[in-house]
Amino acid sequence: MLKQEIDTPALLIDIDLMEKNLETMASFFRGEKGTYFRPHYKTPKSPFLAAKQIESGAIGISCQKLGEAETLITAGITDVLITNEIVGDYKIKKLISLRKHAPGLMVCVDNIIPAKALSEEALKRGVKMPVLVDVNVGQNRCGVEPGKPAVDFAKEVSKLKGLELKGFQCYHGTLQVWDQRHGLEAKQQEMERSNGLIVETRESMEAAGLNTAIVSGAGTGTYKGQYHVMSEVQAGSYILMDWKYHITAPEFERALTVLTTVISTPARDRFVVDAGDKTASTDSGMPILKDVEGYEYGTAGDEHGILTPKEPSRELKIGEKLELYPSHCDTTINLYDRYYGIRDGEVEVVWPIAARGKSQ
């Protein structure tokens, strides 16, 4: 099937560009001994792409939700870090059930109450649950405070017989595109501050005799400036990218696009396409048109988008198929059931997005 024969809206991956991104990240870590990469699954949401990341050198996969982890483990990928807190009887029981099938499964903790519940359930099932202490190094979301509070909490966790302390997580998500909000100099300053907290926490934990074999964090926007204080990096968006993240990390190509059709041309200043709010997320900005210059995209409801000519390079035609670069790959991917992998203008493969909608 030719790319232009795909029904729209549809989510496309340029396979050549994706493979280039895989090699760019893998080659960086091949040259940096002592630090590994554990790509984040919250971006691609497909075990097929996760397997490609492992083939390129990743030591395992990280993910955000229990449902995401389940799709990985079902596909035979068992070295998985859940970079989030798991709370509540149902989720804890499900997590420990998955642990019995996945020897590499790990989870983060930042509160002693769910940590104790995890330990008790693990003991009931005859397993040990590997955990990382979640440490707040600037994200101000989950996580205990760095330094002494992290050490004190880690000591309590290490006493729980059903848990195995493996180290700590130190992800600073807002730092990834800090340069776009505050400038490069401010980003460098914040990164140095965050790195200092990571080093302080690691040294304090080691002085207390606590395990710090795993120090996990960083992302596509900070891996170059943080890998040296980590044992593993959680970069995720690099494999596919969006136009917004590409500004911060231009070494990675924009391999992901939304294929859309011009379905109405009611006026010379209004070209309507079939990609609206349900097909392209706008939480990080509007999509931008690929290959055709001089048009501005705006949403026009759930099912429609409008391309407004500013200084157009050419006029669009009814029935024409176009590609849009999304502004946020993670949230756009979550709207689709499958990827169409494109090479040389043809569909080479269709990959299911198994973790689409796995928000639990």
Q: What is the pLDDT of residues 261-292, one digit of tens each?
A: 999 999 999 999 999 999 999 999 999 999 99
Cα separation, 338 vs 351, whole angstroms: 6
Domains and CATH numbers, the chain: 3-9+252-352 (2.40.37.20), 34-239 (3.20.20.10)
Q: What are phi and psi of 87, to 5 degrees?
A: -130, 140
| pLDDT given at position 33 | 73
- What is the reported pTM? 0.95
Q: What is the pLDDT of residues 180-238, one digit of tens each?
A: 999 999 999 999 999 999 999 999 999 999 999 999 999 999 999 999 999 999 999 99
**Dihedral sign, CA of 169, 170, 174, 179?**
negative
| Whole-number Cα distances in Å, 215 to 56, 201, 274, 349 | 21, 10, 44, 36
